[in-house]
């Protein structure tokens, strides 16, 4: 088993014209089926934002203070290749892909529901449809790297983790806008990507397996 935490930046890709960068912090708990296959839980907290009331073509912007939790599985390269005879494969054995499913709780703390009076097109138009609080299905896809570090007894005990995560949400809560397709293009799910670095600690007893870390 292992647990850890980390943080980094995120960027939104939603119904507003242009996404912006926010921040994400996370905690994880993983059960190691093998040294290179895990199932676990991940919790996230952060801020997602996008748009700009001045530069956006529809004068829209949003800020989402969100929380999310998912169950996930990850598969590392070390499970699939024989790295004992290759220094290169040994060094990259911690590369992994993963997928999860969970829920994201959206809390919109700042949003433009009505165009400002000085808007170049349709000043005062509104309200833009949508809700400020919602819960959506959340599907995270992971690609990352685990760098293993020995403890004082020579066992692999610590992990430095670098992760890129693409997060698909099924629903219209991420940006707070639920637009009619007759007025806005609204054919793709709301997405945010995270880029994080973290630390993990492996605990428990050492078990025998055909491959070791």
Residue 7's CATH number: 2.40.160.20
- The residue segments making up the domain with residue 154 are 2-202
Distance in angstroms (rounded) separating the CA atoms of residues 159 and 149: 6
User: Where do the H-state alpha helices sit in 30-81?
Assistant: none
What does the pLDDT look like over 142-181, one tens digit per residue? 999 999 998 887 778 899 999 999 999 999 999 999 987 7
Whether residue 73 is contained in a domain is answered as yes
Question: Tens of pLDDT along 54-96?
Answer: 999 999 999 999 999 999 999 999 999 999 889 999 999 999 9
Residue 35 in any domain: the answer is: yes
Predicted TM-score of the model (pTM): 0.91
213 falls within a domain: no
Number of domains in the chain: 1
Gap between the Cα atoms of 124 and 212, Å rounded: 64
Inside any domain, residue 209: no
Minimal CA–CA distance to 39: which of 48, 47, 52, 29? 29
């Amino acid at each position: 088993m292992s647990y850890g935490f980390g943080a980094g930046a995120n960027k939104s890709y939603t119904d507003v014209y242009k996404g912006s960068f926010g921040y994400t912090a996370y905690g994880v708990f993983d059960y190691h089926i093998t040294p290179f296959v895990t199932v676990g839980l991940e919790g996230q907290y952060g801020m997602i934002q996008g748009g700009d009331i001045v530069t956006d073509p529809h004068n829209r912007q949003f800020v989402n203070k969100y929380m999310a939790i998912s169950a996930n599985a990850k598969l590392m390269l070390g499970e699939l290749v024989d790295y004992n005879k290759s220094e290169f494969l040994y060094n990259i054995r911690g590369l992994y892909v993963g997928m999860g499913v969970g829920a994201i709780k959206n809390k919109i703390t700042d949003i433009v529901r009505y165009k400002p009076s000085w808007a170049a097109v349709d000043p005062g138009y509104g309200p833009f449809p949508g809700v400020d609080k919602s819960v959506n299905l959340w599907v995270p896809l992971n690609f990352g790297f685990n760098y293993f570090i020995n403890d004082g007894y020579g066992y692999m005990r610590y992990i430095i983790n670098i992760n890129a995560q693409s997060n698909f949400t099924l629903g219209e809560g991420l940006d707070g806008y639920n637009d009619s397709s007759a007025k806005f293009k609204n054919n793709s799910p709301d997405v945010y990507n995270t880029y994080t670095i973290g630390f993990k600690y492996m605990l428990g007893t050492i078990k025998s397996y055909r491959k070791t870390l």
